[in-house]
Amino acid sequence: MEVGWGQMLALSCAICWALAVILLQRSGESLPAFELNLFKHVLSLVLLIPTLAWTVGLALPDYPLGEICIALFSGFLGIGVADTWYLRALNLMGASRTGIIASVFSPFVVLLSVLFLGESLIGFQLLGFALVMAGVLLVTWRQSRTSADGANIRKGALLAIGGVFMMAVGIVMVKGILETRPFLWTVAIRLLGGIAGMVLYIALRRRWSEVWNQFRKPQPWLWIVSGSFLGGYLAMVLWLGGYMLIPASQASILNETANAWIVLFAWLMLGETIDVRKVTGLLLTFAGVATMLLV
């Protein structure tokens, strides 16, 4: 594979997201997952507004009402629900396990595309799905299933898998809109849907004072802002640049290297253990993703 600007942007996206995961785990030690997710996406929307003004303008393109509703609901599922569950999983079982489990995103997208978009699933993609799931099970399995740590890992794994599934549902829902409408505007509408869903949840549960008190407490704002900027805004822009310049299959494979960077950064920056089982699980997930994307 010849390395050009597209490849560099896709790899940079993977590194940015991996660093963001580490920073957001640090942030999640003091700021709960829901509040952290809300802040991350509000900051992303604030930064996206001048980006829209600079690139395509602030005049809303001509979207049919049905497409706007789909994009909003896609954001509610893929941003409001999925990201909150993912951040909670980070707190429960650490960055490296959560990052590896996130590899099920590609298989979920493929399966949902077969069911709802009429795409076909061939034998090698089924093999890839099996390899990814084997890697996830290897990373999350524990001999002592009665320990508190084991309980946290099981709960975190369910939240991570559920969150990634919601992300996949949100992407499949909005795929046709992404292909036919301005990309950045569709991203902005999805962000609005995710933020609106979280605000509605706060209103229905009457949690305004509780959420506000979390933000008023002393927080590691350097970690929070840095992680939100890297993961919520910059990684998205780099991801877009990679997909614009090189084939989607190449960009997807390079983006999936984020899981390896997460394991490495979690070891270097968080002191998480890296053992043969994690490395083997990581290799299995990589092999599964490569198998699915290279066919």
Query: What's the pLDDT tens digit per position in 221-240?
Result: 998 899 899 988 888 777 76
Residue 2 CA to chain centroid, in angstroms? 27
CA distances to 23, 42, 98, 153 from 91, rounded to whole Å, are 12, 21, 9, 10
Q: From CA 11, how far away is CA 24, in angstroms rounded?
A: 20
Q: Kindly give the parts of the chain with pLDDT less than 50.
A: 1-2, 143-148, 249
In total, how many domains does the chain have? 1
In the prediction, which pLDDT does 66 show?
94
Expressed as residue numbers, the domain containing 54 is: 5-294
Dist. CA 217–CA 224, nearest whole Å: 13
Identify which of 251, 261, 263 has the alpha carbon closest to the alpha carbon of residue 289.
251
Q: Could you tell me the pTM of the whole model?
A: 0.75
Kindly state the DSSP code that residue 143 receives in the 8-state scheme: S
pLDDT at 245: 65
- Decide if 282 contacts 263 (C-beta within 8 A): yes
